[in-house]
Chains A and B, each alone.
Chain A
Amino acid sequence: MTTLPDVSTNAVASARWRPGEIVFWIVVVACGFLFPSRYLIMTDIVRLALFALSLDLILGYAGIVSLGHAAFFGVGAYSAGLLALHGIIGEPVVALVVAGFAAMVLGFFTSFLVIRGVDLTRLMVTLGIALLLEALAERFSNITGGTDGLQGIEMQPILGSFAFDIFGKTGFFYSLIVLFLLFLLARRIVHSPFGLSLRAIRNNPLRAAAIGIPVNRRLIAIYTVSAFYAGVAGALFTQTTALASLDVFSFERSADLMLMLVIGGTGYLYGGLIGAVVFKILQELFSTITPQYWLFWIGLVLVVIVLVGRARIHRWALWLPNLIIRQVAGRRAVVAVPESDAS
């Protein structure tokens, strides 16, 4: 009977903000001021990070693999695009939430299909749903604009006062604030008893059911939440680029997302964020150096990452930050990936 208080103390302890996390967010905000000429790529990264966070919620915490997460991204993107194009909801923040809800509704209904199977079935089902939606968007090209995409979207200023500019400054800070708020929410969710029960389900669904966790209901809930996140990421995409075309549903988008989590690691929220940063920077770097063959190099790097192992790379990458902290704070390094969480 002594284990029970241990669990709750552990949970509370792990939910506490670590200095490393605070440093992470300070660095992120600082980037916004340090690289004023790179807003667009940074906005792209922030959107991807949110999208990756969404997949991490189901993959890292609930163990649901998905190759069709772009379905929700796409629904969010088109919802936001159509709302703005037809002037139904002009205010971006409200439209963002509405688009998120649209994806959430889809997530709720498709979750029943997803919980029926195990890993391989889930891969196929999620992939199928995304392909289905892509085909539908293509078929109803009078609504979606088909391959040409939604043309002529004009975004109104955020909250009526911050207009989107050509340099992407507004878009970046807007996306960043959205990411941070949703990150806080996700953090709250995964450290709550609900989040802990998800981890129990991921580790062993049968045993989780045996100790009284309503497995299916929990999975439906987290899948729906994750769909909301993906929908918001999609809506951000449309709002910051004023574009929505068929490739929001594309398989590549879902697959890239999976790669980001492979790079960043699943099950500790920051994995998606780090993965998005690394993936996008690699992509940008290689496609600038060699516009023809960058796919080859990025593939090579991914193979190397998998072979070398993520834990080792994390240690190398954190060498400099740790060094600085040791110097400044005069104590042992604190910026480290919680190994227990990074499964």
Chain B
Amino acid sequence: MFIRRQLLLAAGAIAAAASVLPVRAEETVKIGLIVPMTGGQASTGKQIDNAIKLYMQQKGDTVAGKKIEIILRDDAAVPDNTKRIAQELIVNEKVNIIAGFGVTPAALAAAPLATQAKVPEIVMAAGTSIITERSPYIVRTSFTLPQSSTIIGDWAVKNGIKKVATLTSDYAPGNDALTSFKEHFVAGGGEIVEEVKVPLANPDFAPFLQRMKDSKPDAVFVFVPAGQGGNFMKQYAERGLDKSGIRVIGPGDVMDDDLLNNMGDAALGAVTAHLYSAAHPSQINKEFVAAYKKAFNNRPGFMAVGGYDGIHLIYEALKKTGGDATGDKLIAAMKGMKWESPRGPISIDPETRDIVQNIYIRKVEKVDGELYNVEFATFEAVKDPGKTKK
């Protein structure tokens, strides 16, 4: 008798567990946010997550009569995790949109799923040119590396930099940055004296920096993904490269606003081309930076802006479709959309679904005792040169 009662209890417990599982409401739009929240790229995921939370605080969580629900998942920037999580979110959670994607391999791994399931994939971070070509359901709100690398290449030639050593992370975005920089820099008469590719997963730059120093270039062109810049600059200063007269140039990833202020004076004078600086002098940006700082006690970087614009794009597209969250309608609504972002005016290219934005040339300077990338030249409405070539 006693044992039978135990059995009943156990069965009851199982039934209770089953009944608390969430029931899907029809009036919600679910967004699966897949970003690295742990591991080396964690700062990317945290910035995007923060920015989205901020946006939803400001604008409310309902749009066009639908409640927006964000389902945050950590993929630790490992592509097979990304793929599994994306697949589970689509199949089990029935998400309407997948978003995030901290690194290129992760974005690429999810691409076939977006196509198969007709679910829009909003890339908020990864910056390799080819990503948007992998699925007609991919829209990007971050940037592409050729956008900034070609521009810094041209700028370097015009400003008396003749010999450059390059240091890039050895994966698709790094190679994109290197190729487009080289193309423009060499075409303008510059010379590459040393080319070093560093493993993505091994952020020890010391041996590479020694080689850089020995080849005595005018400047070193650096691309490391967001989050690794601080480590790079620390070792750059430790090796005394800051005192050797070798300047740092590159796409702005290395001077991520998130870490910039802690890099110390070694970063002063570094010139980078990029889409966003926390010091961007617009009213929208000032409000954005103030709100972000207040909420998270840190400065927003370009990854945060990618996330902020990504969720904005989703909101606006839903407004346009009147709350219809079918993949094809959303993508159609997103194409050609224009708005004023904290980074400046941006739009989604209707042909490539990639972002069109201003690229700014900035120099690291001290403003009110803090380090900022101060913009001094603007290239307006830059499309992705990685694609226009074709």
Contacts and interface: CB of A to CB of B under 8 A. Distances in A.
Given A148-B104, A323-B6, A246 B201 contact: yes
B116 interface: yes
Interface in B191-220: 199-201
A217 interface: no
A73 to B, nearest CB: 12
Interface in A291-305: 291-292, 294-295
B113 A245 contact: no
Contacts of B78: 245, 247
A15 interface: no
Given A147-B200, A148-B171, A327-B4, A37 B38 contact: no
Q: Per DSSP, are chain A's interface residues mostly helix, strand or loop, or mixed?
A: helix
B170 A241 contact: no
B113 A291 contact: no
B74 A292 contact: yes
Contacts, number: 81
Nearest to A165: B116
Contact of A40 (B6, B37, B88): B88
Between A141, A148, A324, the greatest number of chain B beta carbons within 10 A of the residue's beta carbon is seen for A148
Interface stretch (B79-87, B251-259, B280-288): B79-87
B353 to A, nearest CB: 20
B74 A294 contact: yes
A288 B73 contact: yes
Interface string A199-238: 0000000000000000000000000000000000000010
B107 to A, nearest CB: 11
B46 interface: yes
B187 interface: no
B246 interface: no
B377 interface: no
B147 to A, nearest CB: 20
B17 interface: no
Nearest to B134: A151
A6 B38 CA distance: 54
B7 A148 contact: no
Nearest to B46: A292
B87 A237 contact: no
Contacts of B72: 291
Contact of A147 (B4, B113, B171): B171
Contacts of B109: 149, 243
A168 interface: yes
Nearest to B113: A166
Between B112, B116, B169, B199, the greatest number of chain A beta carbons within 10 A of the residue's beta carbon is seen for B199
B67 to A, nearest CB: 20
Contact of A148 (B6, B83, B88, B108): B108
Contacts of B157: none
Q: Per DSSP, are chain B's interface residues mostly helix, strand or loop, or mixed?
A: helix
Contacts of B64: none
Interface in B2-28: 3-4, 6-7, 10
A320 B72 CA distance: 34
Contact of A146 (B79, B87, B91, B170): B170
Contact of A292 (B38, B83, B105, B201): B38
Bin the interface of chain B by size.
Answer: 35 or more
Contacts of B172: 147-148
Between B87, B92, B105, the greatest number of chain A beta carbons within 10 A of the residue's beta carbon is seen for B105
Contacts of A147: 105, 169-172, 199-201
B224 to A, nearest CB: 13
A294 B105 contact: no
Interface in A242-299: 242-243, 245-247, 287-288, 291-292, 294-295
Nearest to B172: A148
A147 to B, nearest CB: 4
B295 interface: no
Contacts of B381: none
Interface residues of A, number: 33
A164 to B, nearest CB: 12
A312 B201 CA distance: 40
Contact of B7 (A41, A246, A327): A327
A41 B84 contact: yes
A256 to B, nearest CB: 12
A38 interface: yes
A167 B91 contact: yes
Nearest to A134: B201
B91 A37 contact: yes
A295 B37 CA distance: 10
Interface in A159-210: 166-168
A314 interface: no
Interface in B92-149: 92, 104-105, 108-109, 112-113, 116-117
A295 to B, nearest CB: 6
Nearest to B200: A147
A320 B13 CA distance: 12
B91 A245 contact: no
A80 B199 CA distance: 24
A246 B169 CA distance: 14
Contact of B37 (A138, A149, A241, A291): A291
Contacts of B79: 149, 243, 245
B84 A326 contact: no
B38 A294 contact: yes
Interface in B217-258: none
B37 A292 contact: yes
7 contacts: A138-B199, A243-B109, A245-B78, A291-B37, A292-B38, A320-B10, A327-B3
Interface of B: 3-4, 6-7, 10, 37-38, 46, 72-74, 78-80, 83-84, 87-88, 91-92, 104-105, 108-109, 112-113, 116-117, 169-172, 199-201
6 shortest interchain CB distances as A-B pairs: A147-B171, A291-B74, A147-B200, A291-B37, A37-B92, A292-B37
Given A40-B84, A149-B79, A327-B4, 11 more contacts: A38-B92, A41-B88, A147-B172, A151-B108, A245-B79, A287-B73, A287-B74, A292-B37, A295-B38, A324-B7, A327-B3
